């Protein structure tokens, strides 16, 4: 752990000249930043950087681009998942590519002009989003090619394998993402910030009330910065009967992070299956 509460775990056998056979995955959250390097030939995690709590993740990302030699190597594949409020989910039967401006008219003014459209046939909706302007300025020109996702795209991909109704909660230090799936189809997604456990419980019960979740029937899966029997875990357990840590089931050799709780990095590592 460094002075800024970040960690960098790296396989000592990793050589920068092998980057051409590797993938870089970056996840820029609202108050957290992480990235991982994966050897594609061996489907093996060879590096992971994580700063679970940073005031300005974009500013921190800009700093790393100048100081972290691993970020700017010529990777075979680069995926960037970004938290953005400039996002809309359109049912596929209503989506019209000629009416993009209709979906983006309520995006914030600092939105970039580039619009990303990601259709999902199995989920039944198309995601339309743009990056915050500062984020786009940070990544444009750094790499000749990269693919952009909204922050939770990896978790949505994992959710396609869920049966029945599931509430997935992914935590950072002071935020959490809530996603609700019915038989693998995403029904709800929202981002929340909280200062204390009381605020977290308020949002948790609000979600349950709005979506009419059955406390005894819904499966609650948690990932990110949460531990068994910590304050957040016990609060969830107080109301919901079926609670467990998210099992990612991603076919990756995670030896380099085997001493870390696997559910910590579900949101980051799951992006690997999106490409």
Q: What is the mean pLDDT of residues 74-102?
A: 90
Give residue 134's pLDDT band: very low, low, confident or very high (50, 70, 90).
Answer: low
Q: pLDDT-based confidence at 2, cuts 50/70/90?
A: low
Domains of the chain: 162-245 (3.30.420.260)
pLDDT for the residue 83: 87
DSSP type of residue 111: B
Q: What average pLDDT does this structure show over 57-63?
A: 86
Contact yes or no for 190/178 (Cβ under 8 A)? yes
Q: How far apart are CA 233 and CA 53, in angstroms?
A: 19
What does R_g of the chain's alpha carbons equal in angstroms? 18
pLDDT of 218 over the 80 cut? yes
Q: How far apart are CA 186 and CA 238, in angstroms?
A: 25
3-state SS class at 103: helix
In the chain, what percentage of residues exceed pLDDT 70?
95
What mean pLDDT is predicted for residues 195-214? 97
Please determine, for residue 105, whether its predicted confidence score (pLDDT) is greater than 80: yes
CA 26 to chain centre: 9
**18-22: long-range contacts at Cβ-Cβ below 8 A with a sequence spacing of 24 or more?**
19/73, 19/74, 19/75, 19/76, 20/74, 20/75, 20/76, 21/76, 22/46, 22/73, 22/75, 22/76
With 90 as the cut, is the pLDDT of residue 234 above it? yes
Segment holding 87, helix H or strand E: strand 87-91
Identify the sign of the CA torsion 70, 72, 76, 82: positive
What are the phi and psi torsion angles at 199 (to 5°)? -65, -40
Mean confidence (pLDDT) of the chain: 89
- Long-range (24+ apart) CB contacts under 8 A made by 57-64 are 57/28, 57/29, 57/30, 57/31, 57/32, 57/33, 57/83, 58/28, 58/132, 58/134, 58/135, 58/138, 60/33, 61/26, 61/28, 61/33, 61/138, 62/138, 64/33
Q: Is 212 left (phi over 0), alpha (psi -120 to 50) or beta?
A: left
Q: Residue 3 above 60 pLDDT?
A: no
Q: Which tokens go with 220?
A: 């609650």
Lowest pLDDT segment from 40-49, 83-92, 107-116, 120-129: 107-116
pLDDT higher than threshold 80 for residue 16: yes
pLDDT confidence tier of residue 104, bands split at 50, 70 and 90: confident
Largest alpha-carbon pair distance within the chain?
Answer: 53
């Amino acid at each position: 752990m460094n002075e800024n509460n970040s960690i960098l775990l790296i396989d000592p056998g990793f050589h920068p000249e092998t980057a051409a056979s590797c993938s870089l995955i970056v996840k820029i959250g609202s108050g957290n930043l992480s990235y991982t390097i994966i050897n594609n030939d061996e489907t093996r995690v060879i590096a992971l950087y994580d700063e679970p709590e940073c005031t300005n993740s974009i500013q921190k990302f800009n700093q790393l681009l100048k100081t972290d030699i691993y970020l700017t190597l010529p990777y075979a594949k680069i995926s960037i998942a970004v938290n953005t409020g400039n996002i809309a989910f359109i049912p596929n039967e209503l989506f019209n590519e000629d009416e993009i401006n209709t979906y983006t008219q309520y995006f914030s003014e600092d939105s970039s002009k580039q619009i990303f459209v990601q259709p999902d046939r199995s989920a039944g909706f198309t995601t339309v989003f743009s990056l915050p302007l500062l984020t786009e300025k940070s990544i444009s020109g750094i790499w000749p090619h990269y693919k952009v996702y909204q922050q939770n795209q990896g978790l949505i991909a994992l959710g396609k394998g869920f049966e029945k109704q599931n509430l997935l909660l992914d935590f950072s230090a002071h935020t959490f993402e809530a996603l609700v799936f019915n038989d693998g189809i995403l029904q709800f997604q929202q981002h929340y910030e909280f200062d204390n456990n009381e605020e977290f419980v308020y949002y948790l019960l609000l979600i349950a009330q709005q979506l009419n979740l059955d406390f005894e029937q819904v499966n609650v899966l948690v990932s990110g910065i949460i531990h068994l029997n910590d304050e957040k875990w016990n609060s969830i357990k107080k109301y919901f009967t079926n609670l467990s840590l998210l099992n990612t089931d991603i076919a990756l050799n995670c030896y380099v992070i085997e001493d870390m709780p696997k559910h910590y990095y579900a949101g980051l590592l799951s992006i690997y299956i999106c490409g």
